[in-house]
Amino acid sequence: MPEVLFPLDSTKPFTEQEKTGHNRWHPDIPPVAAVKPGDSFRAEVREWFDGAIKNDDSAEDIRDAPLKGVHCLSGPFAVEGAQPGDLLVVDILDIGPIPQEEGPLAGQGWGYTGVFPKNNGGGFLTDQFPDAYKAIWDFSGQTASSRHIPGVSYTGMVHPGLMGTAPSPELLATWNKREGDLIATDPQRIPPLALPPEPDQAILGNVAAEQFDRVAGEAARTAPPRENGGNQDIKNLTKGSRVFYPVFVEGGHLSVGDLHFSQGDGEITFCGAIEMGGYIDLHVDIIKGGMQTYGVSENAIFMPGRTDPQYSEWLAFSGTSVTLEGEQKYLDSQLAYQRAILHAIDYLTTFGYTPEQAYLLLGAAPIEGRFSGVVDIPNSCATVYIPTEIFDFDPRPSAEGPTQISGGVPVPRAANPAL
């Protein structure tokens, strides 16, 4: 096992640990440790809400989730010799949930998926699902199943939702300017268009006390993905992945957090993955001047890992850029993906799932999302692929009609007297 450079004690909150992490991006957050090119190390990672979400049957914790406190990030780690213009090569050697099994923290044998309410985060289908919902998933080895969504289990694709390098002062100013300009177009919108710097609940590592207010007032929120990587929520960053991050500050200042046991493409429910705490083992190296050499002016490139689940048969749904009210939009791929997901939800409800169960499942299971056509005016075509093997029953259309999830048990439609 590589040396643990960022240890976490599961019995203590994130702010009372041996080393203090951070929940904002800023170049002045000092590194918690220095590593050399060629080094491997382990970071323990807290789930993104620092224990606010409980293993129970109520969604009140999701409804009231403390969004200003996310994400709890481990780091920054300085890589000796890394300079602006280099590419930081990060290999994910290993990743998994908190090693001890049962406990109250997500990652201790379980994780959660949440649908966030419209007035506290929202989600991809927030107009159709404006309230809070939650599913708890139990882990058995690589497999996830849920008492809240019967008749389904699947192999996780464990990955970090969030990893990235620190922005330079200039890049941070660019973020704040462009996101502030967007917010100004509709400052009262719910959910908001973007999240400005927020000193309340900011955790800034070992920033000196006299610097804290300035840094907290400038530091970027961690919710969006940006040029530095960040909260990209790429489900394919599994064990064995290699990521090439642009370096914007001396040492690169790599941070990681928001581990997911599994996630569907798009992380559609907002907290759409199976959220958990755990560990990640990283190996780092540098390509000097790699940004110019490879034409990377911004944004990470990556080679996904090779440990995807071996699902071979899929049931797919499509959508186009026409609103639910029938209005024609022009090549709107976001809308087309929403319509594809809504079609999948409609289908799954014929098996006895509630729309909320279907939505939670599509957020967390290893579904594939694709932009299938983006040029055929006026309609984009987006598609979503569900692996058929994740169900305990045959989910394909047939002359017999859909098997029914009845009392948690799949039964043939013909055997259900209620139908």
Binding residues (CB under 5 A) for Zn ion: these are 161, 258, 273
Q: How far is Cα 143 from Cα 86, in angstroms, rounded to an integer?
A: 38
**Least distance from C-beta 258 to Zn ion, angstroms?**
4
Closest by CA position to 51, among listed 300, 269, 208, 277:
277
**Least distance from C-beta 49 to Zn ion, angstroms?**
9
**Least distance from C-beta 256 to Zn ion, angstroms?**
12
The residue among 43 and 78 lying less far from Zn ion, judged by its C-beta, is 43
**Least distance from C-beta 74 to Zn ion, angstroms?**
14
**Least distance from C-beta 28 to Zn ion, angstroms?**
26
Residue number, nearest CB to Zn ion: 161
The residue among 216 and 364 lying less far from Zn ion, judged by its C-beta, is 364
**Least distance from C-beta 72 to Zn ion, angstroms?**
11
Nearest 10 degrees: CA dihedral of 175, 181, 187, 193?
-50
The residue among 75 and 161 lying less far from Zn ion, judged by its C-beta, is 161
Scan for tokens 């999240």, then name that residue: 195
The residue among 161 and 230 lying less far from Zn ion, judged by its C-beta, is 161
The residue among 264 and 352 lying less far from Zn ion, judged by its C-beta, is 264
Residues 6+ positions from 354 with CB-CB distance below 8 Å: none
**Least distance from C-beta 45 to Zn ion, angstroms?**
11
Q: How far is Cα 332 from Cα 63, in angstroms, rounded to an integer?
A: 30
The residue among 179 and 258 lying less far from Zn ion, judged by its C-beta, is 258
The residue among 86 and 258 lying less far from Zn ion, judged by its C-beta, is 258
The residue among 258 and 356 lying less far from Zn ion, judged by its C-beta, is 258
**Least distance from C-beta 263 to Zn ion, angstroms?**
8
**Least distance from C-beta 160 to Zn ion, angstroms?**
9
The residue among 76 and 161 lying less far from Zn ion, judged by its C-beta, is 161
The residue among 117 and 272 lying less far from Zn ion, judged by its C-beta, is 272
